[in-house]
Every structure is written in structure tokens, then in C-alpha cells.
Amino acid sequence: MLLFVSPSNPTGAVYSPEQTKAIGEWAEEHGLWVITDEIYQNLTYDGVRAVSIVEAVPALADRTILVNGVAKTYAMTGWRLGWMVGPLDAIKAAANLQSHLTSNVSNVSQRAAIAALTGPQDDAIAMREAFDRRRRLIVAELNKIPGMVTPTPQGAFYVYPNVTGLLGRTWGGVTPTTSLELADLILDQAEVAAVPGEAFGPSGYLRFSYALGDDQLLEGIRRLQRLFA
Ligand SMILES: Cc1ncc(COP(=O)(O)O)c(C=O)c1O
């Protein structure tokens, strides 16, 4: 099975339509099932669109399970509601399993999700604009820290800087050699939370979320700039 996530957590990268098509055709040729996690589908910037892999390669439809939810687009993380779209037999099997594992999604959450999905989308659009503003701020400011290289993500609400230039050096009496140790140091000394690359794969990266208020975001960035000055 291929797990396809675009826009990506943790990098915020968005596959281009050509890349999506090429990956989809590869999965189709190899007879793979695909899970496509489209939870950040509506959070893209710079005019970029996240093309669904089934849209790019329609022949995949009978072996693709699309998952999505209200947590990101509608900032409804706590409502615990998502959905799957896929071949009927797979969906039925998943529903049987879930109803015994976790019972079912509360009616209140279901009503709230219907309101979010079918109501006016102004708030979602305004939130995306706010994310875009915060994205540009955090990329510009983190890139002022020597040793931290922050690419501009085109989706989701994370930045994923390469921090190898900060490792092996002494900050506030501590010499981190991995991004895990660096994340600990940042939490202890700046009280800013980051998820180290080790949580996703290689060491040498940190994931920062910019899904928070402008003032808090700026305060967090300033603390990092002071720590690594
Ligand atoms: C790629 C991806 N998929 C799914 C989710 C799940 O969100 P939830 O369980 O809140 O619906 C997240 C949340 O961080 C995510 O990053």
C-alpha cells in the first residue's frame, strides 16, 4: 500500500500535478492500494493547488481510500471527526472494525461537521489568509538565524528547517548533537515546543507549527532568535 500525504506533515511540501500523476501511475502499474490523506487539501499558498491522486489517475479509484476531516480546514481538532471515501467493501469493513474499537462519532460532532462543510466558507478562507501571513513571517524570521535553513512550504501549517548548522555548538551551556537534543534545549531554555526530525525519520530537522496567534508566534520566534544569537 502507498500512503500519499500532500500537503505534507511535517514539511508542508505539496506535490505538483505532474509528480502526483507520476506517483499515481507507478502505484497503478504495481497494483498497489493507495491511502491518500488530504487533510491539508485546503491549506495551500502561493496559488498552488494540491491535486488529489485519484483526480490525477482516475484508474486508481477502485483501490484508493481517501481520508480527510474537519481538524485542519475548520480548526475543529477537538471534535474528533473525519471520513473515508473508497470502495464499498473496504469502507464497510473499516466501519465494522471502528464501531467495535471506538464505537462511533458523536452526533454533536457530526452536526457540527455538516455545518462546517455546507455553511459559508468565509472563516476558512480568512484562516488560510492568516496562516499564509504567519508562514511568510516565520520563514523570513527563522532564516535570520545563522545555522537554521528554512525552506518556504506551500501547504499545511508547519515549517521544517534544517538545523544541522546549530548542532555540535554550545548554547546556554548545552551542546546538542542531534535535533532531538536541540528540541529539548529549546523547550528548556526558550519554552518553545518543536518536534524533532527523529519523530518522522532523519535527525537534523525541527518542525515548528505556525497555527497560533500572531503575537504568540512572534514571541516564540524572538525567543529562538535570542537563544541562537
Ligand atoms: C497528515 C495528517 N493527517 C491527519 C491528521 C489527523 O487529524 P485529526 O486526527 O485531528 O483528524 C493530522 C493531524 O496532525 C495530520 O497531520
Provide the residue ranges of all domains of the chain, joining segments of one domain with +.
2-118, 123-227
Q: Mean pLDDT for the chain?
A: 97
Strands 64-69 and 82-85: antiparallel
pLDDT band at residue 140 using 50, 70 and 90 as cut-offs: very high
Contacts of 175 (CB under 8 A, 6+ apart): 168, 169
CA distances (Å), origin 66, targets 7, 33, 142, 174: 14, 11, 34, 45
Give the nearest ligand 1 atom to 69 CA.
11
CATH number of 123-227: 3.90.1150.10
CB neighbour list of residue 11: distance below 8 Å, 6 or more residues apart: 151, 153, 158, 160
Q: Which three cell numbers stand for residue 83?
A: 471520513
Residue 123 banded pLDDT, cuts 50, 70, 90: very high
Residues 64-105: pLDDT tens digits? 999 999 999 999 999 999 999 999 999 999 999 999 998 889
Kindly report each contact of residues 161-165 with a partner whose C-beta sits within 8 Å and lies 24 or more positions away, as own/partner. 161/205, 161/206, 161/208, 162/204, 162/205, 163/204, 163/205, 163/206, 164/204
Which position has the grid cell 480548526? 75
- Which 3 state secondary structure label does DSSP give 205? strand
Domain 2-118 fold is: Aspartate Aminotransferase; domain 2 (3.40.640)
Closest residue by CA, ligand 1 atom 1: 9
The answer, yes or no, to whether residue 219 has pLDDT greater than 90, is yes
- At residue 214 the predicted structure's pLDDT band, cuts being 50, 70 and 90, is very high
pLDDT of residue 19: 98
- What pLDDT does 104 receive? 85
Q: Which of 35, 72, 74, 81 to mutate to test the pocket of ligand 1 (most atoms within 8 A of CB)?
A: 72
Of 9, 41, 65, 157, the residue with max ligand 1 atoms within 8 A of its CB, to mutate for a pocket test, comes to 9
Nearest CA to ligand 1 atom 14: 9
Q: What pLDDT sits at residue 228? A: 97
Gap between the Cα atoms of 38 and 50, Å rounded:
9
